[in-house]
Amino acid sequence: MSITTSIQADLLVSAKWVIPVQPQGAVLEDYCVAIKGNKIVAVCSQAEAEATINSNEILHLPDHALIPGLINAHGHSAMALMRGIADDVPLTEWLEESIWPLEAKFVSESFVLAGANLAIAEMIRSGTTCFADMYFYPDQVAKAALAANIRVQLASPVLDFETVWAADADEYISKATKLHDDYRHSELIHTAFGPHAPYTVSDAPLKKLSTLANEMDLPIHMHVHETAKEVSDALASDGRTPVARLKQLGLLSPRLVCVHATTLSNADIASLAEAGSHVVHCPESNLKLASGFCEVAKLSKAGINVALGTDGCASNNDLDMISEMRTAALLAKGVAKDASALPAHQALEMATINGARALGLEAMIGSLEVGKYADMTAIDLNTLNSTPLYNPISQIVYATQASQVSHVWCSGQQLLRDGEFNNLDIQAIKSASAEWQAKLSAAHN
């Protein structure tokens, strides 16, 4: 941007490289981002900043890349407490013999709060400033997110059957609408409807959710085509794929966020593209559970917005979006048998602006642009594994480690400075996690 008048800022961040994500592939060398309050007020060269911006604080990052805060577009934050408890088993066995029994016994407000605190700390440390969450007691995740000053979209779960959170679909939906009412004016807390999956939610609640989502202007966040078995079971049951069923129910729209999206037919892909629905790719979780492959290159070619998520720690086993970008890029090449299938800049877009689009927040976050919230991540590229450096975007996607994240801001508030947390009690988070580990370990063994 060209600045014609002087600007007053609270913080001016001067970096070796500013990677705004929009315009696509742009790498701005020796640039600055100015913040006033919670918004970005300027993106300009260092020379222009010196001449026109008066800032209360200036931060020089001479070896760093400044990128938009990463957006983890799908996860179950409380499941951080189940990290590694049921590894190396297939999805059905993993769910039915380990995860669901443990959840039935232990999930509570205190469990969710402790798990969310742990997950949020891990996400901040690896450069994430916004995450989508689908789990029970979403009010506790909101509490943890507000305390940490991180952005979240809470996809309140909806199921046909009783759990600790609700007795039936109507109660789940009622709690979801109340959550929306509670946080409708929050800067950091956003909401969505979270029907778990086509095979756990019947037609009537799905139709009701479609109507409510339109009335309330909310996304619908749902596991769709997670495995080949899910698809084959649906075809055997009524001759339709889950996507075809959702289309007939009227759920396919720009509001629908389909998580996983493996085993899609050409007709399914055409339906999603025509409707403007979104896909969230969770490559590491899918690989670990051998759930199948999301054909990212084919979806992108069809014009479908593809975002990126980690899924929960119980099936990943981390919440590192930098690692997820690399895995997504490499996997897409192998699946498509094309080395150009998912270039580095597109992987970064999946983890930033595409995630913002999927969550319906692209006007607020996802790129470093004037008027957007100051959600930013700085990455130190003066490391052995980043040397030599020819292309900062490629370096971030293919070589960077989460430990290189040095600074993180969300809505202009600094969450991480020189690798140290500003406002989280990490020892307390570890202690709470250790207490839950003892309980879950005793029950699982």
Q: Is the dihedral of CA 427, 433, 439, 444 positive or negative?
A: negative
Indicate if the pLDDT at residue 371 is higher than 90.
yes
At 210-237, the pLDDT tens digits run: 999 999 999 999 999 999 999 999 999 9
Indicate if the pLDDT at residue 82 is higher than 60.
yes
Number of C-alpha atoms within 13 angstroms, CB side, residue 257? 35
Q: Quick one: average pLDDT of 309-329?
A: 97
372 residue type, one letter: K
Q: Tokens in use for 29? A: 């060398």
Q: Tell me which H or E stretch contains 247.
A: helix 242-248
158 residue type, one letter: V
Indicate if the pLDDT at residue 2 is higher than 80.
no
**CB neighbours (10 Å) of residue 178?**
13
- Cα–Cα distance between 122 and 120 in angstroms, integer? 5
Q: Tokens in use for 271? A: 């339906």
Indicate if the pLDDT at residue 4 is higher than 90.
no
Q: Tell me which H or E stretch contains 131.
A: strand 128-133
| Beta carbons of 348 and 393 less than 8 angstroms apart | yes
Give residue 90's pLDDT.
84
Output the CA angle 148-150-156, nearest 5 degrees.
105
The runs of H, that is alpha helices, within 149-202 are 169-183
Give residue 92's pLDDT.
84
At 6-41, the pLDDT tens digits run: 999 999 999 999 999 999 999 999 999 999 999 999
Q: Quick one: average pLDDT of 44-72?
A: 97
Q: Residue 43 to residues 31, 64, 66, 351: CA-CA distances in angstroms? A: 7, 16, 11, 21
Tell me what the pLDDT averaged over the chain comes to: 97
Q: Any idea which fold 7-68+376-410 has?
A: Urease, subunit C; domain 1 (2.30.40)
Q: Any idea which fold 70-359 has?
A: TIM Barrel (3.20.20)
Q: Is 152 helix (H, G, I), strand (E, B) or coil?
A: strand
Indicate if the pLDDT at residue 149 is higher than 90.
yes
Q: Tell me which H or E stretch contains 7.
A: strand 7-9
Indicate if the pLDDT at residue 3 is higher than 70.
no
CA 437 to chain CA centroid, Å, is 25
395-421 burial, b at 16+ Cβ within 10 Å, e below that, comes to bbbebbebebbbbbbbbbbbbbeeeeb
Could you tell me where the beta strands, DSSP code E, fall in 182-255? 189-195, 220-224
- Cα–Cα distance between 263 and 294 in angstroms, integer? 7
Residue located via tokens 């305390």: 147
**CB neighbours (10 Å) of residue 422?**
15
- Cα–Cα distance between 222 and 195 in angstroms, integer? 5
- Cα–Cα distance between 247 and 235 in angstroms, integer? 15
Indicate if the pLDDT at residue 105 is higher than 90.
yes
Q: Tokens in use for 121? A: 């700390």
Instruction: Indicate the domain borders of the chain.
Output: 7-68+376-410, 70-359
| Beta carbons of 70 and 76 less than 8 angstroms apart | no
Q: Is 104 exposed, middle or buried (0-12, 13-18, 19+ CB in 10 A)?
A: exposed
Q: Quick one: average pLDDT of 271-295?
A: 97
Per-residue confidence at 348, pLDDT binned at 50, 70, 90?
A: very high
- Cα–Cα distance between 207 and 49 in angstroms, integer? 53
**CB neighbours (10 Å) of residue 34?**
27
At 376-435, the pLDDT tens digits run: 999 999 999 999 999 999 999 999 999 999 999 999 999 999 999 999 999 999 999 999
